[in-house]
Every structure is written in structure tokens, then in C-alpha cells.
Amino acid sequence: MEVINIQGTDDTPNVILDKDNGKFEISGRSLPEDVNLFYQPIMDWIDGYSKDTNDQTIFHIKLEYFNTASSKIILDILLKFEEIVEDGNDVKIIWHYHEEEEDMLEAGEEYADIVEIPFEYEAYTD
């Protein structure tokens, strides 16, 4: 399966989706001008991955900031992983947040309340 490795900018996140190495991560800032255009390849990749998953999928979300449009896409991504869980696969979300950013922790908790996927929270410092 092709690896997605997108280098982040001031407005778009770093994205690594690497099935063979078990690395699944979105990090940085997400406020792309066209959120659907940016995230469509990621959504398509997850659709393909859902047909042949690893034994365990640990998805790291380490966003410093995301806008409203990105928040909807993040939920859509999580819902795709929820479908993978419903198919009997082992998925865990690790939600990283800066220890001083309570808003980001709360955002992760809100997503965890919506989807049926195990969440863990990891605080980090600079």
C-alpha cells in the first residue's frame, strides 16, 4: 500500500500513513484553504486501508490547532476508524496535546465521546 507522507506547512498538518511500518500520524496545524481537497487523499487511503488492516492500528493525533472545517474532517477520519473497529479490528487513538492547552485536551475528549474507539491522552511540553 502506498505511503502518504505530507510535509506540513503553517496551514496544513504533517501526515504520515505508513501501513508497512505501522505509523499513522497527523500533527501540526490544520487550517487548509480547501479542507476537502487537502484531506481527500487521506480519506481515500483510509478507505483502502480498511480493506486490509494491520493487526493493530495506533493512530496519533498531535494537532496544535485546527479550524472548524478541519474539526469536521477529523471527525470523519475518526468515524472511518470506528468502522474499522466495528469490523473487529484493533484500533487505538492517541490524542497528544500540549499540557498548557486544555482546549485541545477537551477537543479530544469530545471526539472520544462521539466515536466508539479507545482513546488515550498524552500531554507534552515544548
What are the pLDDT digits (tens) for 44-68? 999 999 999 999 999 999 999 999 9
Cα distances from 7 to residues 25, 26, 27, 111, in angstroms, run 12, 10, 10, 25
Residues 86, 91, 96: CA angle, nearest 5 degrees: 135
pLDDT confidence of 107, banded at 50, 70, 90?
A: very high
Across residues 76-83, what is the average pLDDT? 98
Q: Is 126 helix (H, G, I), strand (E, B) or coil?
A: coil
Across residues 104-121, what is the average pLDDT? 98
In the predicted model, what is the mean pLDDT of the chain? 97
Q: Is the pLDDT of residue 114 over 90?
A: yes
Closest by alpha carbon to 111, among 78, 63, 86, 68?
78
Give the number of domains in the chain.
Answer: 1
Across residues 93-104, what is the average pLDDT? 96
Q: Is the pLDDT of residue 92 over 90?
A: yes
Check residue 28 and give its pLDDT: 97
Which structural domain, as residue segments, surrounds residue 114?
A: 4-124
Across residues 100-115, what is the average pLDDT? 97
pLDDT confidence of 84, banded at 50, 70, 90?
A: very high
With a pLDDT cut of 70, the percent of the chain lying above it is: 100
Q: Is the pLDDT of residue 126 over 90?
A: no
